[in-house]
Amino acid sequence: MSKRLTKDDWLRGGFLALTESGSSALKAEPMARRMSTTKGSFYWHFADVPAFHSALLKEWESKAYADIVTQIDGEDSAAHKLRALGQIAVSGAPKEYGGIALEPAIRAWGRSDPDVAEAVARVDGLRMQYLSALMKDIGLTNPELVRILYASFIGMEDLTSRDGEVNGPAMGTLVDLILALYQ
């Protein structure tokens, strides 16, 4: 007897399908094939494909913002939080969620789906607000620095998803440079 799939199994499978095959793979039939089961299992957990997409986005939004803030808030200073944020940003999602390729895949999907674009905009807004507050705690009030650093997070993650290069040291250097310039 095969293992019964959970909603979380379907979501992880969806993230992997998105990173490997793009948003066209996020339909009931290709997902059922990928998960080696029937479409009935898919529809047991999701009313329809839009409900699956909505669940994927809700899970991504939580992991892409709230879970990261929870990790960082354990750091003892704003500078340490900024360094930790930089390292988390360039390390990507856990492998079972698509790894470093997940965020670029979500962003690519958002270019063709308005609901996904809204989710990306929400996460970007929350992240930039958090980053801005963090930098203000350090004494850095230039809003352009927030935008530059955030764009670096996104760009380095995209580069790593394509070329496999590790960007932790580069991000660490950028954060240290910003801190050195303004302290």
Residue 160 lies in a domain: yes
Residue 51 lies in a domain: no
Residue 93 pLDDT: 82
Query: What is the mean pLDDT for each group of 10 consecutive residues in the chain (183 residues)?
Result: 84 98 97 95 97 98 92 91 89 87 96 98 97 93 92 89 83 90 72
Residue 183 pLDDT: 65
**Count of the separate structural domains present in the chain:** 1
Residue 90 pLDDT: 84
Residue 162 pLDDT: 83
Cα 20 from Cα 109, distance rounded (Å): 12
User: From start to end of the chain, where are the E strands?
Assistant: none
Residue 62 lies in a domain: yes
Residue 122 pLDDT: 98
Q: Which structural domain range is residue 103 located in? A: 57-182
Residue 116 lies in a domain: yes
Residue 92 lies in a domain: yes
Residue 3 pLDDT: 74
Residue 31 lies in a domain: no
pTM of the model: 0.90
Residue 1 lies in a domain: no
- Classify residue 178 by burial, with Cβ atoms within 10 Å: 0-12, 13-18, 19+: buried
